[in-house]
Amino acid sequence: MPEIAISTQKLSRRFGNLTAVDGIDLKVAAGQFFGFLGPNGAGKSTTIKVLTGLLAPTSGSVELLGMDFAAHPIEVKRQIGVVPEGMGLLERLTGSEYLQFVGRMYGLDRATTQRRAAELLDFMQLADRPKTLIADYSHGMQKKLALAAAVIHGPRILFLDEPFEGVDALAAGALKALLGRMTERGTTIFLTSHVLEIVERLCSHVSIIHKGKLVAQGSLEELRTGISRETGSKTTLEEIFLSIVGQDGTERPHLEELSWLM
C-alpha cells in the first residue's frame, strides 16, 4: 500500500447557502502527479484553499502526510508549497527580494535562501531584471515567480492552481520537466488546470469535481477504460471530462443560437 500524501474525509465548505465543496473524499498517494479537474465554479480553487489552510473547512478533515492539518498547521505548512489562485505575491518587492522573504519565512538560513533564490531566478529566466518590482512583471513572469516561491523550501507536496496560465511555451516546457523530476524524487503534485492536454500529459491520476462533488477519481487508464467500455473507442481526457461533466447536457453550449455567426 503506497503512502498517502493527501487525504480528505467528507470535506465540505459552504459560503452562506452555496456549497462550494460537498463532502469530498480524496486520496492522493505520495509521489503522484495528480490532476484536479472541473468546469468553472466547480469548487477546484476552494478545495485547494482548504487543503492548503487558506480556507477553513465547514466540516470534514484534511490530512497531509499523515498529519491532521487543523491540529498541526505549522508542521504541515513546512512540508507543502502552494501557487494559489491570484498567486499571493508581495508586489512591491523585486523577484529576488520576494524569494528571499519566502525562504526565510520557511526557516531557511540566509545563505541557503540567497543561493536557492538566485538559482530559481536563473531557471525561471527572471534573473536579468534584478531591480524590477513584481508589480511591473508580466502575468507570465509573476506566475513563474510564484512557482519559484512555492518550491524554494523543497516541499514534499506541491499545490498548483493553474500553474501554466500565461507562461510561455519555452518556460512551460522547462517547468514541466522540473515538476516531472520532482515527482520522480517523491514530491506529490496536486495540480488544477483548464488545459486538459497538459493534465493528460503530466498527470498519472485524476479527479473530477462537478458542482462541489467528486464525480470521478482514479488513474487515467482506469478512467479511459471505464469510458471506452461505454463508447467502444479509445478516449482522450477531454472526451472523458465532457462525458462525465456534460452528461446532463446543461453545460453544452447551444450553437444553433449563434447561427448569425456561422
Partner 1 sequence: MANVAGRVGILTQVCLVAGLRWRMLRNGLRKKSNRLDLIGLIFVGIFSAFFVVGLSFAFFAGAYNFLSLGRSGWMTLLFWGIFGFWQLFPMFAAGFGAGFEFRTLLRFPLNLPSFYIISLAYGLADFSALASLCWLVSMTFGAGAAKPRVLPAMLVVVTLFVLLNVTLERLVGSWLERLLSRRRTRELFFVLFILSMVSLNLVEPITRRYGAVLRPLAQRLLPYLSWFPPSLAGKAIASAEQGHFGGVVLASAELLLYAGVFSGFLWVRYARQYRGEELSETAAPSPLAARTVSKVDDAPDPLSALSPQVAAVVRKELRYLTRNSFAFLTLIMPLIVVFLFSSMFSGRHPTTQHPVSPEMLFPGIMAYIVLILMAPAYNCFAFEGRGIQAYFMAPVRFREVFLGKNLLLLSVLAVEMCLALAALAWQLGLPSPPVFVATLSAIVFAVIGQLSLANWSSLNFPRKLEFGHMRGQRQSGMAVLIAFGAQVLFGGVSAAILFGGRLMGNRWFPAEAFTLLAAAGVGGYFSSLDALSRVAEKKKETLIEALCR
Residues lying near partner 1 in the complex (CB under 8 A) are found at 52-56, 73-75, 77-78, 82, 84, 86-93, 97, 100-102, 104-111, 114-115, 118-119, 121-122, 125-130, 132-133, 135-138, 140-141, 149, 170, 260-262
Q: From residue 18, how far is each of 14, 75, 174, 210, 211 by CA, in Å?
A: 6, 31, 39, 14, 10
| CB closer to partner 1, 89 vs 179 | 89
Q: From residue 30, how far is each of 37, 159, 186 by CA, in Å?
A: 19, 13, 7
| CB closer to partner 1, 19 vs 114 | 114
| CB closer to partner 1, 99 vs 209 | 99
What's the CA gap between 195 and 160, in Å, rounded? 13
| CB closer to partner 1, 69 vs 241 | 69
Residue 16 beta carbon to partner 1: minimum distance, rounded to whole angstroms: 12
Residue 87 beta carbon to partner 1: minimum distance, rounded to whole angstroms: 6
Residue 86 beta carbon to partner 1: minimum distance, rounded to whole angstroms: 5
What's the CA gap between 236 and 74, in Å, rounded? 40
| CA-CA-CA-CA torsion sign (26, 30, 34, 36) | positive
Contact 30, 5 (CB under 8 A): yes
Q: Is 177 exposed, middle or buried (0-12, 13-18, 19+ CB in 10 A)?
A: exposed
Residue 132 beta carbon to partner 1: minimum distance, rounded to whole angstroms: 5
Residue 118 beta carbon to partner 1: minimum distance, rounded to whole angstroms: 4
| CB closer to partner 1, 39 vs 166 | 166
What's the CA gap between 4 and 178, in Å, rounded? 22
